[in-house]
Amino acid sequence: MIRALTYALLAFLAITHIAVVGKLSQHENVFPMNEDQDELFVLPSAILKIASFDYKGIVSDYLFIKGIVYIGGSVQKGSSQKFNINESQWCAFYNMMQISTDLDPYFQDPYYIANAFLTWDAGMTREANSLLEKGSRYRNWDWSLPFFSGFNYFFFLNENDKASEWLMEASRRPGASPTIASLASKIAFKASKTENSISFLEEMIKQTEDESMKKMFAGRVEAYKAILDLEKAVDAYQRKFGKKPSTLERLLKNKIILEVPKEPYGGKFYIDSGGNVRTTSENQLMPFQK
Amino acid sequence: MKVLWPIAYITLKEGIRNRAIYGISLFAFLLLGLNMLIANLAPRDVGKVAVDIALSTISFSGLLIVLFVAINLMAKDLDKKTIHMVLSKPISRSEYIWGKFFGIALILVLTVIFISIFAALSLYILKAGYESFFLRFSWPLVFLAIFFIVMSLILLSALSLLFASFSSTSFITLVLTILTYLVGRSLSDIKALIETASIAGATVSPITAKVVEVAYYIFPNFAFFDIKMNAAHGLSVPIATVFWTVLYCLIYGTLALTAASLVFRRKEFP
Amino acid sequence: MTAILTSGISKTFKGDLHARPVKALEGLDFEITQGEVFGFLGPNGAGKSTAIKILLNLIYPDSGSAYILGSDVNDKNIRKHVGYLPENPYFYDYLTAEELLWFAGSVSGMEKNKIRASSDELLAKVNIEQARTRQIRTYSKGMVQRVGLAMALIHDPQVIILDEPMSGLDPIGRKMVGDLILELKSKGKTVFFSSHILTDIERFCDRAGIIVNGKLRLAGHLDKLLENNATLEEVFLREVERAGSGGDA
C-alpha cells in the first residue's frame, strides 16, 4: 500500500516537474535582448594567453569558431547583398580573429575567413591586410597569405607598389604558381588596371575552393572583360575621332562595337565625364572602402 | 637501492587499480571521440584542430591523474597510516620517496600511452578522411609532443612529492601542486607580457619585474614542455631544444626529490 | 646479545594550537634478552605505542638511544630482522594479501621462491588462504589483522614487535595469535608486545614492564612481579595509583 503511494507520489512529482520546467523556460527570456548589443566579449590577448595555460591551441580554435558563428547568423550564402552587420560588429569580429591568431599565429582559418569577409563585405581591407601580414610572418611556407594581401592592395586600395611587393613575396614561397611573379611585374609596370584585375581575379578563381566565392569572382571577371572590351572600343574611337566618346551609344552608332555587352549585375555600362568606362552597379563590382 | 622496485611496483598497482584512472580514461576517450566531430568545424586547418584537441586531451587527463591519483597515493600513506607498513621495513626515507616517485612515474607513462593510442587512432581516422588538410601533419612531432607532456607531468609529480613531504594534509598538497602548475605554466607568458608592456609604454613597477624574473628561475617552467603548437603546424623542434628540455626535467626533478627526501627524513609518524 | 635495549628515551610531543605539549615518554630504560617474550603493560595513552614506534624509527626520541640486536634503531638494515605489527594496521586497499607479502619479502631481501613458499605457509597458518587473491578492501578487520601478522613474519625475523596484537580479534583470532607467540618463543625468537589486557601478559610473557604516564614503573620476571601472591591486576592498579599521586617506583 505504502509502496503504491510512493510510486504515485513519484509520478505526480515527475509530471509537475516537467510542467514547472516548461513554465520557467518561458520566463527565461523575460529580459529584453537588445540585438544591437550582441557584444563579443573577450579578454585582451595577453591576459588570455596567460589564462589559457597549456591550451592556447584549442582556445584559439574556440575563439575562431565563436567569431564565425557570431557573423554566421547574418550570412546569406553566395549573395552579393551586404550583410546585416553593422560596423561595430565587424570590428568585434576582426578583434576576435586578431586574438585567435595572437594565441596561435599559425592558424590559417582566421586569416582566410577574415580576409574573405573584411574585404568584400565590411570594407575593412587595411584590417584584413594587417591580419594577412601577421600570418605571412609566421606561416612562411604559405604563399597564399601574401598573395591575398597583394590582391587587396591592388584591387581595393589601389596601392600598386605594395601590391607588387607582396606578390613578389608570395612568388618566393614554395608552391607558388609562376604566374604570380609575372603578375607582380605587370602591376609594377602599371599596366591597365582592368587587365590586371582580370588576370588577378582569374588567379583567385584558381586558388579558391569555395564554389560561391568562385562564382562571385567569375561574375566580376565577366564584368571586367566586358569593361575591357568597351575600353578597347573607346580607345579605337579615340584613335578614329581624336576624342573619347561621350556615350556608349556613339560606339554602337559608329559600328565600333556591334552591341553593348550585358552587364552581369543587372545595371548599365556608361562612360563618365572623364571618358572612363563605368557601370551603374559599381557598388557590387567594386565594394565600398572605408 | 634494490628496494626501489618493490615500492614502485606496489605504488603502481595501487594507483592503476584506483577508480579515478577509469574515470579519467573514460573522459579522455569521450573527448577523443568528440575530436572526430569537432575537428572538421575548421574550414581548412582540420589537421591543426585535430592535433590541438588530441594533445590537449592527453595533457589535461595527465594533469587530472597527477592531481587525483598521484597525490592521493602519497596522501593515503600519510592520512591513513599505511606508511607504517612501509617504513617499518628496511627502507630508508629517501628510498621511500624515490620508490614512490618511480611508481607514480610508471602510472603516468602507462596511462598516457594508453590514452595516446586512442588519440593516435582519432588522428589517423581524421587524417584518412581529410588528407588534404593534414599536409603539414607529422607523426614524429606528435609523439615528441606527447613525450614532452609526459616529462612535464613527471616533473609536476616530483614537486607534489616535495609538497607532500612537509604538508600536514593531502588538501594542502593538492592546492600547492595546482598553484605550482598554474604559476609554472603562465610564468613565461607573464614575463613576455612584462617585457612587451614596457615597449608599449605601459609602466611596470620594477619590483614586479624583479619578482617575476626571480620566480622565472625558481618555479618550474612548464612552458618548456608545451610543443603542441609545433605538432599542430608541423614546425620542427631542434634537437638541442629537446636535449636541454630533458636535462631541465632531470635536474629540476632530482632537485625536488632530493629536497623531498631531506624534508621527509625529519618527519615522524606517531 | 640483548635483543632490545633502550637507554634514557624521552619524547615530548609539541602541542599545536589547542593542546599543550604532551610528555609521552620520560627516561625509558629497559632491556630484553634474546628468546624472551616481554610484555609492555599500561593504560591507554601510557606511551606504549610511542616506545614501539621509536624502536621502529617511525618516531625520533628527544634524548636517549635505542638498539635492536646491537644496532642503533636508525640503521634501516636492522629492520631486516624485525617483524612489526602496528596497532590498527592499514594496508593498501587495492592490493591483495599475496602482493603485500611479496612486497614485505622483497624489501627484506628474500628470494622470489622463498617468498612464495613462506607466503603459502603463513597464509595457511593465519587462515586467510582462501582470500589471498582478494583485495584488502574486501577484508574484515580480523582478516586485516591476520595479514598484518603474516607480513610481520614472512621474512623470518629474529625480533617480533607487536602493538596490541589482540585488539579487534575474536576468540579464534586471539587463540591464533597466542599460539603464534608461543611457537615463536619455541623457535628462540624474541617477542615484544604491548597490551592493556592483563590475561594476555600473564599467559605469554616471561618478563613484563608496567608503564604509566610515560614512565616505566616496574619491570621484571613475571613471578617476581607477582610475589606475595598478588595478582597482576592488583600490581597494575597499584602502580597506576602511585603514578597518579606523583610517587616514583
Neighbours of B, requiring at least 3 CB pairs below 8 Å, are A, C
Chain C neighbours (≥3 Cβ pairs under 8 A) are: B
Q: How far is B110 from chain C (nearest CA, A)?
A: 18
Contact A41, A66 (CB under 8 A): no
**H helices then E strands: how many in chain A?**
13, 2
With CA atoms as reference, the chain C residue closest to B81 would be: C90
Residue A177 counted as domain residue: no
| Chain B residues inside the 8 Å CB shell of C99 | 10, 13
ipTM of the complex: 0.89
- Coil, helix or strand for B46? helix
Say if residue B79 is exposed, middle or buried (CB neighbours under 10 Å; 0-12, 13-18, 19+). middle
Nearest chain C residue to B19 by CA: give it: C94
Q: Which residue of C has its CA nearest to B18?
A: C94
What's the CA gap between C204 and B219, in Å, rounded?
Answer: 58
Element (H, E) at B239: helix B239-265
Of A50, A57, A64, the CB nearest to B232: A57
CA quadruple C15, C19, C20, C25: dihedral sign? negative
Burial class (CB in 10 A: 0-12, 13-18, 19+), C32: buried
**Degrees to nearest 5, angle at CA C198 with C194 and C199:** 110
Q: Is the residue at A25 inside a domain?
A: no
Which of A59, A60, A61 is the best mutation test for B, with the most CBs of B within 10 A?
A61
B189, closest residue in chain A (CA to CA): A50
Q: How far apart are CA C62 and CA C83, in angstroms?
A: 24
Q: Which chains touch A (3 or more CB pairs under 8 A)?
A: B
The domain defined by C2-87+156-244 carries CATH number 3.40.640.10? no
Residue A158 lies in a domain: no
Whole-angstrom distance, CA of residue A232 vs CA of residue A244: 11
Higher pLDDT, C230 or A153: A153
> Residue A245 above 70 pLDDT?
yes
C-alpha span between C35 and C30 (Å, rounded)? 16
**Cell reading at B120:** 593516435
- Give the helix ranges, DSSP H, for chain C: 48-55, 97-107, 112-125, 141-153, 171-186, 198-204, 222-225, 232-244
Look at A104 and B42 and tell me if their CB atoms are within 8 Å. no
Spatial strand order in the sheet of C63-68: C22-33, C2-13, C63-68, C71-72
Q: What is the pLDDT of residues B31-63, one digit of tens each?
A: 999 998 888 888 889 999 999 999 999 999 999
Question: pLDDT for C56-72, tens place per residue?
Answer: 999 999 999 999 999 99
**Triad B87, B89, B95: Cα angle to 5°:** 60
pTM above 0.80, yes or no: yes
Q: Which residues of A touch B190 (CB under 8 A)?
A: 50
At B200, the pLDDT band (50, 70, 90 cuts) reads: low
Percent of chain B, pLDDT > 70?
98
* DSSP sequence for C190-230: EEEEEES-HHHHHHH-SEEEEEETTEEEEEEEHHHHTGGG-
Summarised one tens digit per residue, pLDDT across range A175-207 is 888 888 878 877 776 567 788 778 888 887 887
- Overall number of domains in chain A: 2
Do the beta carbons of residue B123 and residue B197 sit within 8 Å? Answer: no
Strand-pairing partners, residue C66, are C6
- Which whole-number Å values give the CA distances from B45 to A104, B39, B131, B216, in the listed order? 12, 9, 11, 34
Asked whether residue A6 is assigned to any structural domain, the reply reads no
Alpha-carbon distance of C87 to C166, in angstroms, equals 9
C246 has a pLDDT exceeding 80: no
What would the grid cell of residue A212 be?
A: 560561391
Distance from CA of B103 to the nearest CA of A (A): 25
A233 residue type, one letter = A
Residues A42 and A48 sit within 8 Å (Cβ to Cβ): yes
Does residue A247 belong to any structural domain of this protein?
Answer: yes
Domain that residue A277 falls in: 232-285
Would you give the distance in Å from CA A287 to the centre of its chain?
Answer: 10
Task: Return the higher-pLDDT residue of C15 and C7.
Answer: C7
Contact at CB, A46 and B189, closer than 8 angstroms: yes
Q: Which of B186, B190, B195 to mutate to test the interface with A (most CBs of A within 10 A)?
A: B186
Residue whose C-alpha cell is 586547418 = B45
Q: Which residues contact A110 (CB under 8 A, 6 or more apart)?
A: A64, A67, A97, A100, A101, A131
Confidence check: pLDDT of A61 > 60: yes
- Whether A107 shows a pLDDT value over 80: the answer reads yes
Using one digit for the tens of pLDDT, what is the confidence trace for C83-115?
999 988 889 999 999 999 999 999 999 999 999
Domain positions in chain B = 4-265
The residue of chain B nearest to residue C98, with distances taken between CA atoms, is: B10
Beta-carbon separation of C99 and B82 below 8 A: no
Contact between C89 and C165 under an 8 Å Cβ cutoff? The reply is no
pLDDT attached to residue A34 = 47
Residues composing chain A = 290
Q: How far is A288 from chain B (nearest CA, A)?
A: 27
